[in-house]
Amino acid sequence: MKKFITVFLCLAVLFASGFGGVGKAVAADEIAQLVLSDNEASIETGDSKALTATAVYVGGKTEDVTVKTTWSSADDNIATVYAGTIRGKSEGKVTIVANYLGKSVSVNVEVLKKVRTLTKDKQTITIRTGEDKAEQVTLTAIYDDNKTADVTEKAQWTSDNQAVATVLNGKIVGHTSGTAVVTAKYGKQSVTIPVNVEIVKRLDPSKSEVSLLLKDKQDTAEIELTAIFPDGKSEIVTEKAEWSSSNEAVADAINGVIKAYGSGTATITAKYGTKTATIKVDVDRTMKLEMTPQNLFMQIKDGSKKLAVKAFYEKEQSMVEDDVTDKAEWTSSNSDVATVTKGTVIPLKAGEVTITAKYGDKSVTTTIDVEVPRRLEASQDYIAASVQDTTEKSISITAYYANDSKQDVTDKVEWSSSNEAIVSVNKGKLKALKAGEVTITAKYADKVVTIRVDVDIPKQIVADPTSLDLQVGGTKQITLNALYGDGTNVRTENITELAEWSSSADSIVEVRKGYVTGVTTGAATITAKYGNRTVTISVSVGIVKSLSVKKDDAAVDKLVMKKDDTAQLKLIVEYTDKTTKDVTNLATWAPEESKIAQVNSDGMVKAKGPGKVDISASFGGKTVKVAVEVDQTESLTASDRSIFMSVGETRAITLNPNDSNSVYVTQQADWSSSSSSVADVAGGKITAYKNGKTTITAKYGGKSVSILVEVEILDKLEADTRFVQLKTLGEKKDKEFTVKLTATLSSGQKIDVTDKADWKVSSYKIADVDNQGVIKATGYGKTSVTAKYGGKSVSIPVEVDQIKYLKVNQVNLSLKPGQKANVKAVATYWDGTDIDVSIPALWTTSSVQKADVKDGEIIAHGVGRATINVKFAGKQAQVIVNVTK
């Protein structure tokens, strides 16, 4: 229905308007203007930029006509355009025209060379404020063709914090202290330059701490703030800095002037640029507070009392006091008991209260008792009463105050009974109503005192006996008595048959009216209860008191045995009722298996091997032990403590040689050698294998003994000669020498070890030695021969061909070319012997063209002079040869 009405109204409007409305509709479709998304554009060669065209019709309607619009470029060589997309071709400026339905709009386009990167001549800027301190940055564009250009004035410059610094065409001007980032953009590239303006290295206030007083016009202080810059220069920036306070109620600062407003502490902060400095401010800094009087006792009838507070300050290295009673902040811990205003305390009701005065950051307290006693005391703390007793019981209460006064407050206290059905109380008067236990409480001004009252309750019940020891089936009567009274009048009553009896374990002990019967072995507790009193009696039935081990009817706690020995033991038990019994076959014996000694279930012990072990017997929850020592000895000695042996020799050692069981001990001992390669042992017999030292150890019965064995240990090693001289020429006796090596053992024995020693020579080019000690000459020189045996060594110096002189039979020759001459070289040794060494000697010539030589035969070749040299065993001689025509 609503839709129908709407359609109807629309039709009515249409007919009412007539045909003139048709003309208006046509006018509405006419374009009023054409609008482009950009009026100008800047692109780089090879890049593109899209524009949109929007038609605005006369009727107000808009339409995106970018595709419908006709686009054209004034110069396609600079930039082309298609469907609104401009593409840069080459560097230059061009006009792009958009036409739609007769409306045209132009766009100025600048095509820039493609920028590969931008460079700046300054990486960071640090400047002071002011136009005269400005700094210029040069911007260089590097294009794709590697050409460069200064684009400082062409770039777009911006600052992210213009309050700190502004920029125009690369010129940066600082305005206020702080940091900013300047950005230069050209084409698609951009660079940034961090800018520091008035950056302070540090801020130094003239004072770091200030103490102010609210009185005597000492409530202000001036601070001078100095800024030190990175270049070392300084400047007073007191009025330029931003000042703030952590607690303005205490102190604040304006342009470096600090003013106090209230007591306490505050921190003043001065900020300039990125740096801050702080000044600690104390206002009326109180060293301590004192309140008088302390621990005050007040009574309501006496009215108010005045408290005073003094503050102590430190001024010029001395203490100054000030009455701050009216300035302090006063509080009461319980305003229902007492109030306080500027030190005046008004008591309101009985009680205890703490008064606190606070001034600055200090506070002081005092405790005030308003009609509060320090303690209450009752005339009695325990009363024994009886329902049958007609004598009235009464209690009085005394209050003791802080001023050392006391007062009977029996009628003022608040009385109560923990059980009114047993005892009632009224103003200290007691009335016993029935048997039982109660606590009477008296309370006055938050203080309490209690009195215990027993009505027809025995003070104690006593059992006789207090403990029992029974055998199974045994019986015993226990008597139970009740004690009444308060200590001055004690009455005893037998209550054995009136009490309630019980057993903690009926399977062990039974009880009836105090008559106890032992049922089975064990322990239990009998409890007798009468009223609210109880007593316990411990009962043992068949409980073992002790165990003892016997051998041949004698108590024994240690057995000393040899291997395979046996011993019969018996176990005797004594019970708590002092009866004894042989329980050998009933006990548990251990160990059943052991390498040292074992025991069977009948108490028979058998020794198995050397050592110590405990034999244990257990019965009735108890255990007894017997120490068993098998093959143990008090001491262990050897027939020899040290011996000297030869290789292959055997020697026997006996242990405890003076004892009758010496052979047994020697055979049973555990023998060992510290070095079995030197000497080994078995059953006390030692066999030597090679020279050296070893320790033979015998262990038996927990003891040990050691025997030092030395096998052919050398005391010293000696050669039969201390020096050898040989020749490479001559007879055999001259060319070799046999050394004999003798070893002296630690026993004093001497043996020939020439063929057993290890022989070596330090230089085989001079001499050699075989394993028989024979040294042979091999060449001229000095060396040494070393023989080693049994850890010892001996060295023999050897000299070969040590001659005294080397002579020639002719020292001057005159020859003609082609002539020969024989010269003999003779060596004279230190022993005086001469040997012809012409052939083994080394002959040389100074000029082979003049004369040559071999084995002493000289032949002349040419006219002139030659020197013939002959060398042998470190010596040399010369022959002068003159060759003439």
800 close to 781: Cβ distance less than 8 angstroms = yes
Q: Is 50 exceeded by the pLDDT of residue 12? A: no
E strands, 522-668, are: 522-530, 533-541, 544-551, 554-555, 558-561, 566-568, 570-575, 580-582, 588-590, 597-599, 604-607, 611-619, 622-630, 642-645, 650-652
Q: Which domain holds residue 562?
A: 544-630
Segment 616-645 shows an average pLDDT of 86
Specify the range with the lowest mean pLDDT, choosing from 272-276, 671-675, 819-823: 272-276
C-alpha closest to that of 474 among 521, 517, 504, 512: 517
469 close to 544: Cβ distance less than 8 angstroms = no
Where is the domain boundary, 765, 785, 800? 800
Let me know if residue 492 belongs to a domain. yes
Segment 579-596 shows an average pLDDT of 87
Let me know if residue 16 belongs to a domain. no
Buried b (16+ CB within 10 A) or exposed e, 424-451: bbeebebebbeebbbebbbebbebebeb
Segment 577-605 shows an average pLDDT of 87
Segment 111-121 shows an average pLDDT of 89
CATH code, domain with 126: 2.60.40.1080
How much is the pLDDT for 223?
92
Q: Is 90 exceeded by the pLDDT of residue 641? A: no
Instruction: Based on the fold, state whether residues 361 and 297 are members of the same structural domain.
Output: yes
C-alpha closest to that of 388 among 491, 460, 494, 487: 491
How much is the pLDDT for 784?
94
How much is the pLDDT for 157?
94
Let me know if residue 5 belongs to a domain. no
Where is the domain boundary, 176, 197, 218? 197
d(CA 737, CA 785): 12
Let me know if residue 55 belongs to a domain. yes
Q: Is 50 exceeded by the pLDDT of residue 115? A: yes
Q: Specify the 3-state DSSP secondary structure of 269.
A: strand
Segment 369-373 shows an average pLDDT of 81
Q: For all residues of the chain together, what is the average pLDDT?
A: 86
Q: Is 70 exceeded by the pLDDT of residue 522? A: yes
C-alpha closest to that of 636 among 611, 650, 654, 621: 654
Which has more confidence, 676 or 201?
Answer: 676
Let me know if residue 17 belongs to a domain. no
Instruction: Based on the fold, state whether residues 535 and 548 are members of the same structural domain.
Output: no
Instruction: Based on the fold, state whether residues 256 and 312 are members of the same structural domain.
Output: no
pLDDT in tens, 475-502: 999 999 988 766 566 778 888 988 899 9
- In the chain, the largest separation of any two C-alpha atoms, in whole Å, equals 181
Let me know if residue 421 belongs to a domain. yes
How much is the pLDDT for 1?
38
Let me know if residue 834 belongs to a domain. yes
- How many other CB atoms are there within 10 angstroms of residue 43's CB atom? 19
Number of domains making up the chain:
10
Specify the range with the lowest mean pLDDT, choosing from 430-439, 655-664, 686-695, 729-738: 655-664
Q: Report the share of the chain in percent with pLDDT over 90.
A: 42
How much is the pLDDT for 315?
65
Q: How confident is the model at residue 471 (pLDDT cuts 50, 70, 90)?
A: confident
Instruction: Based on the fold, state whether residues 785 and 808 are members of the same structural domain.
Output: no
Q: How confident is the model at residue 860 (pLDDT cuts 50, 70, 90)?
A: very high
Instruction: Based on the fold, state whether residues 269 and 209 are members of the same structural domain.
Output: yes
Q: Specify the 3-state DSSP secondary structure of 705.
A: strand
Instruction: Based on the fold, state whether residues 626 and 552 are members of the same structural domain.
Output: yes
E strands, 608-646, are: 611-619, 622-630, 642-645
Instruction: Based on the fold, state whether residues 744 and 773 are members of the same structural domain.
Output: yes
Instruction: Based on the fold, state whether residues 529 and 557 are members of the same structural domain.
Output: no
Q: Is 70 exceeded by the pLDDT of residue 695? A: yes
d(CA 39, CA 884): 124
Let me know if residue 9 belongs to a domain. no
d(CA 8, CA 284): 90
Segment 637-645 shows an average pLDDT of 85
Does residue 610 have a cis peptide bond before it, meaning omega lies within 30 degrees of 0? no
Q: 175-179, 347-351, 721-725 — which one is most confidently predicted on average?
A: 721-725
Instruction: Based on the fold, state whether residues 781 and 733 are members of the same structural domain.
Output: yes
Which has more confidence, 510 or 745?
Answer: 510
How much is the pLDDT for 458?
82
Where is the domain boundary, 800, 822, 847? 800
pTM of the model: 0.30
Q: Is 60 exceeded by the pLDDT of residue 28? A: no
- How many other CB atoms are there within 10 angstroms of residue 819's CB atom? 13
Instruction: Based on the fold, state whether residues 796 and 813 are members of the same structural domain.
Output: no
Residue type present at position 12? A
Instruction: Based on the fold, state whether residues 808 and 794 are members of the same structural domain.
Output: no
- How many other CB atoms are there within 10 angstroms of residue 772's CB atom? 12
Instruction: Based on the fold, state whether residues 569 and 614 are members of the same structural domain.
Output: yes
Q: 21-25, 560-564, 759-763 — which one is most confidently predicted on average?
A: 759-763
